[in-house]
Structure 1
Amino acid sequence: MKRGCPVVIGAQESDTALQVLIETAERLDCPTVVYGQDFLAFEENGRMVYQDEDGLMDLPLPRLPGRHQYANAAAAIAAVKAAGFEIGHRAAERAMTHVAWPARMQKLTQGKLVDLAPKGAEIWLDGGHNPGAGIVIAEALAEQEEKNPRPLVLISGMINTKDQTGYFSAFKGLARHVYTVPVSNSDAGVPNDELALRAEEAGLSAEPVSSVASALMLLRDSWDGPAPRILIGGSLYFAGAVLAENGTPPT
């Protein structure tokens, strides 16, 4: 935060964290709007309703999967307004339907790695790397499971500054198996055999493999059943390397 500059506080899981943010903004004399107090968003009749002191906007649901994206979308709209810009209904609608956020529940539909997966597999990439992110990602995947049931397999790489077991715990009862891989582009990467142990501590079936490509080929060659849903994730470093290897870097 910078003194005197507008602050938009999005949805917070922790009341303590929210209070710290509000008090810091007040100390710096920042004009502040807070999710749930000054603005909010909710689903109604298959649409997203954004509400603030200016009124309501009836919008399409965000293109990004997961109910947590409603609050994220609301914070984005509030931030544009706090910065002094007007945002019309048409612009907000276009934002909801065209938004793209690399490595945040990003669906991979083509690329070198995608070509190695079992036929018909649904592949998601997310760089979330802590227990809170694990919960949000698991909830988004559970929503996908309700709409279109598929066996879920994780391909995970993480760094050693994160709570690996806490992250994996969110997927207990949801993921069928975890392949753990090294994060080659970070010195803090957790060895794949150690990461497999952390996944097992969370109650998941896990095994270490040498790379994402190896995991996908192993799945392809051994899979027998409905086409799986695959989540590749656990680290933004890892997610960036996956996009590069797949030949689909952010644009």
Structure 2
Amino acid sequence: MEAATSYPAGAPPTPDYENVPRGNTQKHVNREVLRYLLERSGLSSQSRVLDLSCGDGELLTLLRRYWPQATLVGSDIRSTAPAVPGLYYQQADLSQPFEIAPGAGAFDLVTSVSGVMMFGNTRTFIASSARHVRPGGQLLVTNDNILTMRDRVSYLFTGRVRRFKLLFEADEKITQLVQHQELKRLLEIHGLEVKEVFYTSFYTEDLLYLPLALLIYPFQWLSTRRLKNSTPQALRQQLFGFKSLLCRHYVMIAHKPAA
């Protein structure tokens, strides 16, 4: 575990959502994740945060700016820590069972932005991530959306959704097609409750698919509403609402029930 230089205390600046770096994900994902954390999460600015597959640390850098007193921990397969003030970093292969900062306690928030598509064992990753969330804490996972009309048309004509190639090379990085309902199920079987799902990353070019979306959505809405399942209707509509047909990325937030 490596620790960078400590970050000085002080009043955080007013959020600047217009200049949030994109990072290694779809556009606006980091912006909307930050907006959720600062405005709706209910988390303290002194929270303990673990970012898994933290990459270059874009999200952690944002959190350090707005939550200067938070404890920030990152993990990735890279050997060197990202340049985030006050960051504790631990190298780990997140496709295998992992332990972060043994003995340091659980986290108020665990995040994984655009990570689950890169792990060869999603179930193990979710299990390990959930184990690091304290009772009453949250696990926030984002992923590319394969429900869009763009992806459906691609699958109809080419046999693949757009984010994933039809054939993979041996060293391919992004190979794990994780469906919304499977990610939700994995979170639930590991003791978490999905509380909110929202979509982002709408591109102007996807307006070309708007007529198809307007045609398809009534059938999707009716099918989702009539399905016999324990999932509340409100959450079903968040999962499979109209935006799921046009926006390219989604954010899923799960809470661990308090002990």
Structure having the higher Rg: 1
Q: TM-score, normalised by structure 2?
A: 0.31
When normalised by structure 1's length, the TM-score is 0.31
